[in-house]
Amino acid sequence: MKNSEGRRLNGDAEEDDEDEDEINGGLEAWERSYADDRSWEALQEDESGLLRPIDNSAVYHAQYRRRLRARSLSATSSRIQKGLIRYLYIIIDLSRAAAEVDFRPSRMAVVAKNVEAFVREFFDQNPLSQIGLLTIKDGVAHCLTDLGGSPESHIKALMGKLECSGDPSLQNALDLTQALLNQIPSYGHREILILYSALSTCDPGNIMETIQQCKKSKIRCSVIGLSAEMFICKHLCRETGGSYSVALDESHFKELILEHAPPPPAIAEFAIANLIKMGFPQRAAEGSTSICSCHKEAKIGVGYTCPRCKARVCELPTECQICGLQLVSSPHLARSYHHLFPIAPFDEVPPSSLNDLHIRSQKICFGCQQTLLNLGKPGLCVVCPKCKKYFCLECDIYIHESLHNCPGCESFRHLKPVTAGEG
Amino acid sequence: MSSLQVTKRTKYKTSVKDPGSPGALRMNEQKLLFVPDNRNSGTKVVVEFKSIQGHKYTKEGSNKPPLINLSNVQGGSYIFEFDSYADLHVCRDFVSKVLEKSRETSGTASEKAAVTLADEQLSTAEMQLRIKLLQEDSELQKLHQQFVGGNILTEAEFWATRKKLLDTDSCRKSKQRVGFKSVMISDIRPLTDGQTNKVTFSLTPEIILQIFAEKPAVHQAYLNFVPKKMTEMEFWTKYCRAEYLNHTKNVHAVAAEAAEDEELAVFLKEDDILAREVRKKIRRVDPTLDMEADEGDDYTHLPDHGILRDGSKELNKSQNEFYRRTLLQDLNRHAAIVLEGRTVDVEREDNTNAVAEALAHSKQGMEEADGNENKNRADRISRVTPIEDLQPADSLPLAPLSIKDAREYFDSQQVNALKTSRDASARMESRSCNTQEAYASMRNAISEIKENGLSDPIVSSDVAIKHWTTIQELLRHFWSSYPITTPYIFTKVTRLKDAMSNIYPQLEELKESLQSDLRHQVSLLVRPMQQALDAAIQHHDVDMQKRSVKSGEKPNGYT
């Protein structure tokens, strides 16, 4: 591959093709990676003769930082609203094209597995939100599950119905979803995520009108394609303010779909800010019994009591069946809160500056107390811009993705707390 | 649709184990009559529907024989066994209908008034759906009878909370239309059996619709020839013959056949209508798009589709008379039709004539809409001229975070808190006692059960659950009508509150009717129900107080 790159600078396109073929003797790309790059030389053995795992962490970290930087650039320095109470419909394309085996074992299976992971991650990061599932099959869209907050019911419904046939119809799916999303209250953010495997859409009418209606209904549509980029999907996403991406392979697809888990920034004209009434139910006392309203049977001990109408519910977060009050617990709100105040990305420490005297004393990572030196020489590390503590790469990823709080900043008592008015 | 009388062969049984005496069961709107075959041995049964309280039946698919069990007011039951499940369904539907009607007539007067107040227009389909739902779910039917029959809720209100049940049926019917398929079904290929020389073409209405849509010349020919010159069968025979000839790619055979048969020639030559349409369409394309590669598509040039011709091969002139479609032209035409969308629904029009005419109508409609082409052209030029890649990123402005002052929330809460604190404090003490008591009694109950074994707790909780469903329904309607905005809702709330107050004595009765050992459990279950009712009534009282304070002179609370 390196040879052919050199030639491309000199020769014409036609000659280049012929040359490549000659040199490589008609080898495929994977064959070339053995012949030219000698990928076996990257393997190393340790003392006992076992293979050491290839050190991908630097690559992984570089990817991660690129992602962070892209996100922080788009966010700019001021704080923006995010849609915390999201009503998301996932539309899965189960047309003929979903049976293709370019994603192993089949596109449909890969999509189902990743949707399961996505649903769990989604409810982890957005406990106040709800998901619904739809499928497209034989030119018609079917509602698989209604909007609900329990991941198990969605996953069970999806895994039970994995057959594909017929042509997909984007317009029917959008129409059906629009009808379903029109019923939700105005403070909720309406979103659609389409996982599209096919290269065409067979619609009964003019899809441009449907797209305009979606735009008017303030629905944010995003598409993840599995085969190639399509104009109509691009147009849909551009009009409604969503994102369009096409997956290259299974791991890329997983990355793309998990990018939709954290709440997206709220678009100014769609967002309506108002006060929403929520209830914080108390846990029912140990020995008390009552009939719960979701299962219609007597339950002992477990459950929560709605503060307004005193009805019993089994799990949170949910909507009280009797009085319609949103019932949540404080950890749910806490988990949503950190999306609004994201932690600033840490700065990378250039290796040259680590030779300075006063920095050399920082030999251990503040988060995990492991040494920052790699085989005697200073390894890659990052520093928090506020508290100036040093962290290793793994702690950096952990802090930004799971913890959402810098341990260094939190351990300072006299650092100014985040005020609401700024930004 | 509904029959006033149903007669079926059944066996009458006094209990499930009874072998039953065969006979005929006749039902009309007032009563049912069972006459046994053997006049001497069997008993004749005459039952008025007024005395029938409920009906139960065995489900299809279970291994039990088809039985229907009618229970009367006194507690007795009449069991009939049918020959088949179909009979059972017919009788069951009839019985449900009659029972429903008898219940409705008792409350129609007040119902009618309430219905006109809500101003609801029910279609017959909706009515049928509601009746079906009531028949299938006896619990729902009981609730319906209790509330709507008892004048606590109106029909409209009852069904308002059950929108989901009503809606799912309509969703199931799926008002979605299906677009044309990607697969080219208009490219018909015959079936041959190896023995004879016959080939068989099969055409469905869907295929015919696609043929008419893709080949306007054939469509026009159909409208002209059928039924004046030839029958439909003949028309399609000719068409299939033309297709067959085309597939053989034998130009001379095609020419020979066309020379003989005029009508066949229509199918074999160029499609003029299509050529005209395409020329019009080309004028509507983006002016900045290079159309040279698509020249082969306008059906007037030689089919070359962008392949560089060096002029060395000259096509035979005679061949141009009979035009050979290429696969690419067919595919492009099909794709254009699919993208245009479906204008004619084949399920409704099974008749080819109807399909043809419907398609002609829709085409006319589309042509009329093509009026102002030039203006569109100018618009399109202005939209297409800027180069897409050089434009700035098309992101919509994001909403900045603005956190409201928390004092707004706390101020409003203080007002509420002051009012309810007095009541709440009184309640709090009693509640804490309750949980302790509950725990103690729970422990006792567990130790009792360990000694004596479970003794029918299911029965008691069943009864409690029945009450709970009623209470649940009432509470749901109660809470959904807050905040009160119109006098109608105000009267509704008053009605609900009265109904709720009436439940307290019912619960007390329930507790007293049981023996002491069961009373513990039931009272535990009943207590949270009472708490829920208390909370609702308290909310109502607080609201009333607020209103009377606000309005001052108007004691009724009308805003």
Q: Is it the case that residue B556 has pLDDT exceeding 60? A: no
Selected for mutation to probe chain B from A91, A136, A203 (highest B CB count within 10 Å) is: A203
Q: Chain B residue with minimal CA distance to A81?
A: B401
What pLDDT, in 10s, does the model give residues A176-223? 999 999 888 888 889 999 999 999 999 998 999 999 999 999 999 999
- Test B178 with A309 for CB contact under 8 angstroms: no
Read off the pLDDT of residues B159-172 as tens digits, 9 standing for 90 and up: 766 766 666 555 55
Spell out which residues of chain A touch residue B465, defining contact as CB-CB under 8 Å. 291, 296-298
Res A335 pLDDT > 80 = yes
- The highest-confidence range among A29-33, A279-283, B263-267, B548-552, by mean pLDDT, is A279-283
Confidence of residue A315 (pLDDT cuts 50, 70, 90): confident
Asked whether the beta carbons of residue B398 and residue A267 sit closer than 8 angstroms, the reply is yes
Dihedral (C-alpha) B440, B443, B445, B446: value to the nearest 10 degrees? 170
Least confident of A106-110, A204-208, B120-124: B120-124
Facing residue for B182 by CB, picked from A200, A266, A420: A200
Average pLDDT value for residue range B418-428: 52
Edge-first strand listing for the sheet containing A382-383:
A347-348, A382-383, A390-391
Any CB–CB contact under 8 A between B431 and chain A?
A: no
In this structure, of A97-111, B177-191, B501-515, the range with the lowest mean pLDDT score is B501-515
Confidence label for B302 from pLDDT (cuts 50, 70 and 90): low
* Region of poorest pLDDT, from A310-324, A327-341, B229-243, B421-435: B421-435
User: What is the pLDDT, as a whole number, of residue A340?
Assistant: 82
Nearest CA-CA partner of B211 in B190, B235, B187, B192: B187
What residue of A is the nearest CA neighbor of B464?
A291
Per-residue pLDDT band for B182 (boundaries 50, 70, 90) equals confident
Does the beta-carbon distance from A288 to B401 stay under 8 Å? no
Length of chain A: 423
Give the pLDDT band of residue A361 (cuts 50, 70, 90): low
Residue of A79, A298, A309 lying closest to B400 (CB–CB): A79
Cβ contact (<8 Å) for B396 and A241?
yes
Evaluate if residue A169 carries a pLDDT over 70.
yes
- Which uninterrupted H or E stretch holds B21? strand B21-28
Residue of B189, B238, B186, B215 lying closest to B356 (CA atoms): B215
| Residue owning tokens 């003797």 | A25
Residues A296, B539: C-beta atoms closer than 8 Å: no
Residue B126 has phi, psi (to 5 degrees) of -65, -40
Residues 83-142 of A with CB under 8 A from B: 138-141
| Segment among A181-185, A255-259, B385-389 with least mean pLDDT | B385-389
Asked if B525 lies within 8 A of A80 by C-beta distance, the reply is: no
More confident residue, A17 or B444: B444
Which of B394, B465, B468 is the closest to A238 by Cβ?
B394
The answer to whether the CB atoms of B521 and A289 lie below 8 A apart is yes
Q: What is the pLDDT of residue A78?
A: 62
Q: What pLDDT is stored for residue B384 in this prediction?
A: 66
Among A127-131, B141-145, B420-424, which stretch is predicted with the lowest mean pLDDT?
Answer: B420-424
Model confidence band, residue B294 (pLDDT cutoffs 50, 70, 90): low
Cβ-Cβ contacts under 8 Å for B421 (sequence gap 6 or more):
none
The pLDDT mean for chain B works out to 72
| Per-residue pLDDT at A111 | 95
Reported confidence tier of residue B415, pLDDT bands at 50, 70, 90: low
* A417–B contact, CB cutoff 8 A: no
Please report the pLDDT score of residue A120 as a whole number.
94
So what's the pLDDT on residue A75?
A: 56
Query: Residue A393 has what pLDDT?
Result: 83
Nearest-by-Cβ selection for B461 from A79, A139, A298: A298
What's the token pair of residue A110?
A: 């890969």
Yes or no, beta carbons of B479 and A309 under 8 Å apart: yes
Window A:324-363, CB contacts with B under 8 Å: 324, 340
B/e letters for A308-343, b = 16+ CB within 10 Å, e = fewer, are bbbbbbeebbbebbbbebbbbeeebeebbeebeebe
Among residues of chain B, what percentage have pLDDT more than 70? Answer: 69
Q: Which amino acid is at B258?
A: A
Mean pLDDT estimate for chain A: 81
Q: What is the DSSP letter of B347?
A: T
The pLDDT score that the predictor gives to residue B113 is: 38
- Which residue among B177, B435, B480 places its CB closest to the CB of A285? B435
Report the pLDDT value the prediction gives residue A422, as an integer from 0 to 100. Answer: 40
User: What's chain A look like in SS3?
Assistant: CHHHHHHHHHCCHHHHHHHHHHHHCCCCHHHHHHHCCCHHHHCEECCCCCEECCCCHHHHHHHHHHHHHHHHHHHCCCCECECCCEEEEEEEECCHHHHCCCCCCCHHHHHHHHHHHHHHHHHHHCCCCEEEEEEEECCEEEEEEEEECCHHHHHHHHHHCCCCCCCCCHHHHHHHHHHHHCCCCCCCEEEEEEEECCCCCCCCCCHHHHHHHHHHCCEEEEEEECCCCCHHHHHHHHHHCCCEEECCCHHHHHHHHHCCCCCCECECCCCCCCCCCEECCEECCCCCEEECCCCCCEEECCCEECCCCCCEECCCCEECCCCCCEECCHHHHHHHHHHHCCCCCCEECCHHHHHCHHHHCCCECCCCCCECEECCEECCCEECCCCCCEECHHHHHHHHHHHCCCHHHHCCCCCCCCCCCCC
In A, which residues are within 8 Å of B497 by CB distance?
Answer: none
Residue type, B333: R
Q: What is the pLDDT of residue A141?
A: 92
- Identify whether A105 is preceded by a cis peptide bond (ω within 30 of 0): yes
Query: Does residue B393 or residue B229 have the better pLDDT?
Result: B229
pLDDT (0 to 100) of residue A364:
83
Average pLDDT score over residue span A118-131: 92
Contact A220, A237 (CB under 8 A): no
Report yes or no: A7 and A23 within 8 Å, Cβ to Cβ. Answer: no
The per-residue pLDDT for range A264-311, each reduced to its tens digit, is 888 777 666 677 888 898 887 776 777 777 777 777 777 888 888 888
**Nearest by CB: B439 against A286, A291, A305:** A286
pLDDT of res. B524: 76
User: Residue A83: what pLDDT?
Assistant: 81
Give the H or E element holding residue B34.
strand B31-36
Task: Please determine, for residue A405, whether its predicted confidence score (pLDDT) is greater than 70.
Answer: yes
- The residue-averaged pLDDT of B419-436 equals 53
- Determine the pLDDT at residue B455: 47
Measured between alpha carbons, how far is B68 from B78 in angstroms, rounded to an integer? 8
Using the Cβ of B410 and the Cβ atoms of chain A, whether some distance falls under 8 Å is answered with no
In the predicted structure, residue B443 carries a pLDDT above the cut 90:
no
Q: Is the pLDDT of residue A235 over 70?
A: yes
- Max mean pLDDT among A291-295, B112-116, B486-490 falls in B486-490
Higher pLDDT, A219 or B449: A219
Pick the residue with more confidence: A9 or A314?
A: A314
Element (H, E) at B160: helix B155-160
Inter-chain CB pairs, A–B, below 8 Å: 161
Q: Cα distance from A72 to chain B (closest Cα, Å)?
A: 14
Could you tell me what percent of chain A has a pLDDT over 90? 32
Position A26 pLDDT exceeds 80: no
Higher pLDDT: A237 or B53? It is A237
Q: Hey, which residues 278-337 in chain B have their CB within 8 Å of chain A? A: none
Average pLDDT over residues A20-35: 65
Does the pLDDT of residue A152 top 80, yes or no?
A: yes
Q: Quote the pLDDT of residue B358.
A: 83
Give A336→chain B minimum CA distance, Å: 14
**Inter-chain CB proximity A322 and B475 less than 8 Å:** yes
**What pLDDT score was predicted for residue B502?**
80
Contact B178 A138 (CB under 8 A): yes
